[in-house]
Every structure is written in structure tokens, then in C-alpha cells.
Structure 1
Amino acid sequence: MVDIEFLNEKATKLKKSLSKVKQIIDLGYQQFLKTPMYPDRAQYYALFAYDELDKIACHLLKEIANSKKKEDCVLDLANEGVFSEKLNRTFIDFYNFRKTLFENAFKYPPEKMYPLLKNFVDTLDSLFIKELALLVKELKSKEKKAKYPVNVKKLNEKATVLKSMERKLKTFAKYSLEEFKNSPYFIDRTRYYLVSLSDAANWICRHLSRSMKLKPSKECFKNLMENGVLYPDVAIFFQELSNLRDTLADPKKDVLPELLYKIITEKLSLIDKFIKDIAKAIY
């Protein structure tokens, strides 16, 4: 999903950094060459601008090419060809400029730096925001429309928490029951992760229930099951986990290690099923 708030934030920071470069460039070529601190400051702000551009590029690639990259995305974005030829060329030049800076310990001939930076500023300032807005509009038009007025961004965040807790809990599932029972750390962490798992799942359940305008119920997961959203095995597990949540969170209350071990060795596959059931209901 295209995160417009994120893109706006990064685009604003990009423009701010470019404006700093422009202030120096506007002093003129001769002044740029004669004043040693100007090239240093200009490349400093240019690198800040590049970092913001790279974050934007990674986010766009996630939507365009299902990329999972978190950095070094500018060149890939240029190769996708979703922007104008002039802008793509600028992306490539900007990438090469940054690469050369790092390879040469941030030493770059000022007489070569000036025209490059001027081109970066002029092209990005005049074209990037305009073309980005058009691209985002196109991407948004292709997104699946939710059946209910849900907060998709927040749902995705909670789903990420579920997957994170699943990965962490699987770490303890690799050990035998005896090893698990004899490790206070394993038991403590398992309880903590299960609480986090329950909280994220409960948020999703309540949010979707409200969006679907279902009658409020203390047994949210069973309510979703009765309304055709969750399969019985998924609903029963998450409802039982929800009922156990406060006990898990209270260090003064005992929970059988065997029960915890059973959950992490037999029930974690239900997390994926839960996420898929929710997604299917929404779209």
C-alpha cells in the first residue's frame, strides 16, 4: 500500500536538503571554486537529499516491483523507467556521484561537482514532485479497495507484529520440552511474546468488528467466526489466547510450561491463517 504520509514526509526533507544545496549553487561557479567550505557543505546536503530520495525509491519499488530492499534503491528505481527519461538520468547521475564520493573519501573536484549539483537541484526541483504525485495517483488507483472502512496501514503494522512474535516464539520451539521447562528465560520470554501476540490480534479483531458494524461481543474472535470471517480452529485458538492474556502478563500467576510449549510447537501456524482470513474478509 502506498503510504502517502511517509512519501510526503520524505519529499519535504528532500526538498529542504536540495534548497540548502541551491543556496550555495546560486552563489555562482567562481564563488563555489574559491571558497573551500562551499563544496564540502554542498556535498553534505546533497548526501542528505540522496538519503531521502533513496527512502522514497525503496517505498515505490515495494509497490511497483514487490521489492523488499530497505536501501540502495535509487538505481533500481531509475531502471524501472516509471519516471521521465530526464529524471531517470538524474537518478543515475546522482547515484554515481554518491558512489564516487564514498570511493574517494569524499574528495570530488569542485569544478566537476558544481555542474552536477546544479543539474540535480534544477531537475529534481522542477520535475520530481510533479512526477511523483502522478505516479502515486496511478499506484493508488490500482490498489485493492477494502470492503470495509478499515485502517489498512494500522492493520499491516499489527500483522507485522504477529509475524515478528511468531518468529521469536519459533526460537524456543526448537528445544525439547525438558529444556524448555528448565529455562526460566524461555518461559518468561514465551509469556511476553504471547501477550504481544494476543494484543495485536485483539486489536485487529476489534477494529474489523467495528468496521463491519458487528454487535459488540466479549468473545471477539468467536464473533468473527460466527460471521464467516475466521475458521473455527483459528478463532478458538485466538479466543483462548485472549482469555489467557491477563494471566500470561501477570508474573505472580503460574502458567503450566507444558501449555506454553504446546502453543509454540503446535499452534503458531494459525497466525498465518488468521492474517489470511482477515485479508480475505477485507478484500
Structure 2
Amino acid sequence: MPLIGNVTAPANVLVCGASQGIGLAICAQLLARDDVGLLIAVSRQASHSPALETLAGEHRQRLLRIDCDARDEQALQALATQVSSHCLHLNLVISTLGVLHQAPARAEKSLAQLDMAGLQASFTTNCFAPILLLKYLHPLLRQQPMTFAALSARVGSISDNQLGGWYGYRASKAALNQLLRSASIELKRLNPASTVLALHPGTTDTELSRPFQANVPPGKLFSPAFAATCILKLIAEHGPAQTGTFWAWDGTPIPW
């Protein structure tokens, strides 16, 4: 199955959050594909990641690593300039950015645990960084069939919230979903071949989920490689007709 529909030449792909977890697994699977030409791996320490260094040794000129802290708007602007010096357009951008319990963000259990620093940290990484990434890369996404996919979370669904808690994480992912929905409408007017997706990878064995894995049902804790396979399958199966929608790892839609 083609990575992106109606793309005849090898695709140019950027993954933000590429040095660990799901992002790293996505990079490895993309580089194994013949329909990917240039892969741009972006993270705060992309040039110092041993795993990305190994991939670079195996794939030579197909992998470009760029250091960028996506929480810094000036860094995102510089990233777009650097990417444009290496390619004229991008066909696929995947944001795997997310934080749950990395201080000052935390998985609050009650109103008493809320504070401004934690909420700002959650929103900056989970919400503001992905949409500003899209803003600054948008000039490279205008002329070709393209997909922008960001990892959201089922707990960001307002109608699905039956347990409460995790105030900052839930709210920041819900806000991300709304921003992606709005962006999908604007981009469709500018480029009818554009697709914007919010994707839930399921509970995956990464640093984000490790403190909470004890309550995960058997068979529902996924490896990063499995989550990456599901993400790329969702991207391949959903095009402009589904832009602005929210999907779970297994292909089922998630209510807002």
C-alpha cells in the first residue's frame, strides 16, 4: 500500500519526536520502504541519538537529522528554513510530541494538584508545538498530495471521558484535536490534496506510559514497533476525504 496516495516519486517525510519510542520506530519503518526518498528526523538531540546514528549509518543520504526543540517557536522557524534548503516539498509530516508526567507537567489526579507551570508545560508540548510545527512547515506542504498526522490520545476525547483526572494531558490533547480540525479546513481550501489527522496509537511501552502500565489490560500494551505499524497503516488508508478526523490505532473513529 502506498504511503501517501497519488505520490509517484519517493516521498519526502519529516518525523518530529524522532529519537525515541514511537517516533524512532516510525523512522526505522519508513527507511525500510522503497517509496520514501528523504526522511528528516527531528528531535532535541537528533544528532546525538545513538539509535538515529545507527539508522544514518545504514541509510546514508536518505536520513537527515536535525536538532530542534519544538517547544521553541524560533527553533521551529529555523527548522523550516533548514528543511527547505534540502527539499522543495514535504509529502508527510508526523508529530509524535507528547508529555504526561515529565516535570513540571504531571498526571494530576485532582484539582488540588493543578498549577500553572504544569498546565503550561502540558499545553506547550502536547498542543502548541505540533500546531506551530504545521504552521512553519506549511509552505512546504502546499503544492503536492500531503498528510500531516499528529499523535493525540483517546483521553483527549471529551465525550469518552468517564474517569476524570489527568487534567492537563486530557485538556491539551483535546485542544490539539480542535486545532488540527481547524487547520484541516483551512488547508483543504489551499490544497485539496491535503490531509490532517489526529491519531491515537494505543497504550505503548514508552517513557510516557511506564508509570501507569500496571493497570493496562493484557494484550493492550503495545511495542513501539507495533504502534508505528498501526500509525503508518492509518496514514496510508486515510486521505483528503477523511481530513480533520480522529482515529484509533485499530482503525476505529474516536468521538470528539
Do both share a fold (TM > 0.5)?
no
Computing the radius of gyration from Cα coordinates, the structure with the larger value is 1
RCO greater where, 1 or 2, for CA within 8 Å and sep 6 or more? 2
TM-score (norm 1): 0.24
Decide which structure has greater helix share. 1
What TM-score comes out, normalization by structure 2 length? 0.26
Bigger proportion of residues as strand:
2
